[in-house]
Amino acid sequence: MALPFTIQAQAGSARQACIHTAHGPVGTPAFMPVGTSGTVKAVSQDILEELGAQIILGNTYHLYLRPGHELVRKLGGLHKFMSWERALLTDSGGFQVFSLSELRKVKEEGVSFRSHLDGTSHLFTPERSMEIQIALGADIVMAFDECTEHPAERERARESMEMTLRWAKRSKDYFEAHKHEVPWGDWGIGTSEHRDIGSSEELDNPACSAENSGNLPTTPALFGIVQGGMYADLRRESAERTVELDFPGYAIGGLSVGESREKTMEMIAAVLEILPKDKPRYVMGVGYPEEIVQYAAMGVDMMDCVLPTRAARHGLLFTSEGRINIKNARYAQDQGPADPKCSCRVCARYTRAYLRHLFVSAEPLAGVLNTVHNLAFYLDTMRSVRHAITLGDLSGILSGGVSLT
Ligand SMILES: [Zn+2]
Ligand 1 center–CA 27 separation, angstroms: 21
Ligand 1 center–CA 51 separation, angstroms: 10
Tell me how long the chain is. 405
Ligand 1 center–CA 334 separation, angstroms: 15
Share of the chain above pLDDT 70, in %: 92
Ligand 1 center–CA 60 separation, angstroms: 30
pLDDT higher than 80, residue 196: no
Angle between helices 289-298 and 261-272 (to 10 degrees): 20
Share of the chain above pLDDT 90, in %: 86
In the structure, ligand 1 is a single-atom ion and the residues with CB under 5 Å from it are: 342, 344, 346-347, 373, 376
Question: What residues contact residue 9 under an 8 Å CB cut-off, 6+ apart?
Answer: 15, 16, 389, 390, 392
**Residue 192 has what pLDDT?**
42
**Residue 213 has what pLDDT?**
59
The letter for the amino acid at 190 is G
pLDDT higher than 50, residue 155: yes
Q: In whole angstroms, how far apart are CA 162 and each of 146, 211, 228, 234?
A: 10, 42, 9, 10
Q: Which of 62-71, 176-185, 188-197, 280-289 has the lowest mean pLDDT?
A: 188-197
**Residue 100 has what pLDDT?**
83
Burial 327-351 (b: 16+ CB within 10 A, else e): eeeebeebeebbbeebebebbeebb
Q: Which of 199-208, 279-288, 292-301, 342-351 has the lowest mean pLDDT?
A: 199-208
* Active-site residue, from 145, 301, 304, 380: 304
Residue 80 phi/psi, 5° resolution?
-70, -45
Ligand 1 center–CA 353 separation, angstroms: 14
pLDDT higher than 70, residue 203: no
How far apart, in whole angstroms, are the C-alpha atoms of residue 307 and residue 328?
20
The letter for the amino acid at 170 is R
Q: In whole angstroms, how far apart are CA 165 and each of 81, 240, 339?
A: 33, 11, 45
Confidence of residue 101 (pLDDT cuts 50, 70, 90): confident
Q: Determine whether 278 is an active site residue.
A: no
Give the β-pairing of 221-226 and 140-142. Answer: parallel
Q: Which has the closest alpha carbon to 6: 286, 252, 215?
A: 215
Q: Determine whether 246 is an active site residue.
A: no
Ligand 1 center–CA 343 separation, angstroms: 6
Burial of 244 (0-12, 13-18, 19+ CB in 10 A): exposed
Q: Are 118 and 89 in contact (CB under 8 A)?
A: no
How far apart, in whole angstroms, are the C-alpha atoms of residue 204 and residue 221?
27
The reported pTM is 0.95
Ligand 1 center–CA 42 separation, angstroms: 15
* Active-site residue, from 91, 301, 339, 380: 91
